[in-house]
Amino acid sequence: MGLLQAARAYSLGLPLESACSWGLNRATFIAAAKRGFKAGSGSDGGVGAKGTSIEKDAYLLGDDLAFKTEKDGVMLFTFGGKAQTKEEFDKRIRARFGKKFPQAWKEALAYVKRFDKEVLMSREGFFAEVYRPVRDEWAERWTQETDKS
């Protein structure tokens, strides 16, 4: 999820560092949602820090919303009030692909660019038309690929 979400954000015009933050944010959000926002998620479901101003701190990528912050002039997305950096993306997502990450990133970008902007701008459209059809196949294939390296 994180790789395709980052490719989605990048193809829609976010700079690479912000796109990586978006990808990690959406993957973290979906994982927390599946767990029901338990364990330390806080009263806001772990999305934003207490007292977050939605107008000021929200970012919409199409109809998909995440809370944002700025660090050293770079827009980053937050979860539970914590900025999700490219370094964190590298540890939690890029590392899963090992040496194969450049190949996986290139493939993800090419795949995402096949879809209309309207699909990419829709949270549900992205999930249903982009992510879900390749989720299991890609997970299995990339696990096998990284096991070989």
The pLDDT tens digits of the residues spanning 70-121 come to: 999 999 999 988 999 999 999 999 998 999 999 999 999 999 999 999 999 9
- In total, the chain counts a number of residues equal to 149
pTM of the model: 0.84
Question: Where in the chain are the domains?
Answer: 2-148
Nearest CA-CA partner of 8 in 126, 134, 94? 126
Tell me the two tokens of residue 51: 């007292």
- Write the pLDDT tens digit of every residue in 2-46: 999 999 999 999 999 999 999 999 999 988 888 886 544 443 444
d(CA 129, CA 86): 26
Q: How far apart are CA 104 and CA 88, in angstroms?
A: 18
